[in-house]
Amino acid sequence: MNSNNKETTIVAFCCLYCAYAAADLAGSMRLQYPSNIRIVRTPCTGRLEVEYFLKAFENGADGVIIAGCEEGSCHFKEGNLVAKRRVNYARKLLAESGLEMERLRMVNVSAANARLLVDHLQKMSETIQKLGPSALNKAKRQNQQEIRS
């Protein structure tokens, strides 16, 4: 794992029925995912609202990834499709607000596909490292440095 990723934080909203189980399986399989990922278990990605994503950024996340079931396999039939539309809307709002929309992403994995989940998490971490800390965190750090000096 790249040590630079400590500078950034990524929140991963993982569906209980797929991605969360896949993350669990990744552990059993000794597959490593970046250490700056913070997993939040959700009952279904369809439960997530636009404000959850925005609040995550507001509270210090540099990236947010939503991992739901494969399309057509949602435990609640279409929760992941609802989430997809909300993520797309939130991406537009983020761009309007001055953050890169690449910081928010949705992926689909099955409970059995730990390898795919880890790949997605690594790609997300790489994207965030390329983009650097979010403008919000940069501003906060600058303020803290000013206070210290």
**Chain contacts with another protein (rule: CB under 8 A):** 49-51, 54-55, 57-58, 93-94, 96-99, 134-136, 139-140
Q: Which is nearer to another protein, 112 or 139 (CB)?
A: 139
Report the nearest approach of another protein to the CB of residue 106 (Å).
18
Q: Which is nearer to another protein, 86 or 120 (CB)?
A: 86
Report the nearest approach of another protein to the CB of residue 137 (Å).
9
Q: Is 54 exposed, middle or buried (0-12, 13-18, 19+ CB in 10 A)?
A: middle
Q: For the chain, count helices (H), then strands (E).
A: 5, 4
Q: Which is nearer to another protein, 61 or 109 (CB)?
A: 61
Residue 138 Ramachandran class (φ > 0 left, ψ -120 to 50 alpha, else beta):
alpha
Report the nearest approach of another protein to the CB of residue 8 (Å).
16
Q: Which is nearer to another protein, 58 or 71 (CB)?
A: 58
Distance (Å, rounded) from C-alpha 56 to C-alpha 51?
Answer: 8
Report the nearest approach of another protein to the CB of residue 95 (Å).
9
Please provide the distance, in angstroms rounded to a whole number, between the alpha carbons at the two ends of the chain: 33
β pairing state of 37-42 and 104-108? unpaired
